[in-house]
Structure 1
Amino acid sequence: MSDDVPDEAAQLAKALREVFAGTKISVRRYATRTHRNAGAVSRYLNGTRVPPWEFITELFTEVSRETGNTLKPEVVEHLKAAHRKALKSSNRRLHEVQILQDRLEDADLQAQQAGIREKVLLEGLQTREHRISQLESRHVELTSRWERDARERDSLKAELQLASTSQTEELEQLKIEVNQLRQELEEARELSEQAERKCQRLEQQLSEAEERAQAGQEAREASSLEAAQQEAESARNVADKLRRQLHDLLAQQESARASVEETLQRKQEAREEKRAEIAQKFIGRPPRGERRLAHPSHDQERRGINP
């Protein structure tokens, strides 16, 4: 390197030679490969001429391709700073042009980055707006479904309450009727027992009268015997009538008991069908889409239904 080479140019040339050594080829061969003048390349490397920045970036590319490794950022920045200093000391106008090019390059890079960021943000915004639209539609659907289910649940609850009230009233009325029939049955049994006892007593009197008649009692006793016979016959008729009434009351009681049992069984089956219908409608309904977003009060209201 000549002694008349400025220090800035000498430092740049020294750094360029160190990078150029990575190509492992001669200056002439490098000039042929890159379609440059070998003399110009030689002057760039000995410091007698400051190379354009395009030459240096081209050298970076060739070294990276030859070695398979990219130059470290600090090496590139060092060469860039050395090139700007050498250019400033040798040619201020070219230095000013280079500085403007650097600024334009930085501005263009920032513009590209801003464009990329704008595109990314726009895509993110569109994605989120689409998601918001989906969530709003889903919210409206779930709200409508929840309100419909709530109306159906309230209707079923009112129906069950009405049915329960009606069944309770009917059951109470049936119990009252059963109690009345039991009382009438007890009264009928008491009357039947009284009539039976009266019959036995009259039969005894008749037997005694017959014995007295056979023993030669007077005609008055015979008349009394006939009256006793008539009274006994009347008592038998009353007893038979009471027995028929007792039989009818027993038949009515048995019919009432069967009717009550049948009614209770029918009401029990109706309640079981209602429970199954409610369970099928509010518990066994299969989930649709994101049904797990259903309202948290559903379980509480479902447990609140007690037919």
Structure 2
Amino acid sequence: MATPDLLPIDVATLVDRCACGSRRILVGMPDSAFEITATKPGSHAKPLALAPLKEGLAPEKRALAEDLRALFGVLDVSVRRYALRRHLDASSVTRYLSGERVPSWEFVAGLIDDVREATAPLTPAAEAALHETHRTAQKSNRRSSEMQALQDELAGADEETRRIKARQRALEEALMDRERNLRESVSRCRRLEAQIDDEQSAHRADVTLWEGEYEQLRRECDDLSQDVLFLQEALAVARAELIAAEGQCHQLEADLEAMTQGEGRGQGASSLMAALE
């Protein structure tokens, strides 16, 4: 892991650090070998040398190999040790650093991580430039380019698979929650049904008695309703008869009054004639 006092490294910059003669890293320029020495007081370490880049190497591969060599030189380890550390074949690492083969981006990313842990991280611009150099080198090698395209497609498919799995887990959790709620609701319904059955059994005798009383009251209501209808009709007839009787009484009274007045006038005339005689 990088220490706070270290600044990001630019791949295009020659790395040259001196700390009281304790360590010095020299990265060779293009077309030359470079050596790494780790000098300690009283020790005589052998420099680690890589073969120069071959003539006739494609410019894209040469540029990538130079950048990889610059990064690898910072680690201060041999090719064999680094291959063991990364579980790789030493000959494959050598071909990557010599430009004979274009490595996968996974290898380059691992190298960047190792440099970050050993010294300091690359600047974002340097890492982007290295990524572009790697893509350009792969395009010069059709098979590697096709392989990288398949790897990118696989990475995209894997990302989609992870998203689908995450969504599936969320749906499964939601389903389990709903199923748990459903089981609880069904259990409550069954308890209520059992309680209703118990109450119905306990009050069945009372219900039977109440039904008998209700039936008797219903019959009484029907009988009383018939009586009310009969009495209403009889009352209507009686009222009509009363009206007719009262009319007859008024007529008879009028006739009687008229007759009485007629008799009175007749008697008065007879008395007057008798007096005149």
Bin for the TM-score computed over the shorter chain: 0.3 to 0.5
TM-score by length of 2: 0.38
Task: Output the TM-score relative to the length of structure 1.
Answer: 0.35
Could you say which structure has the higher helix fraction? 1
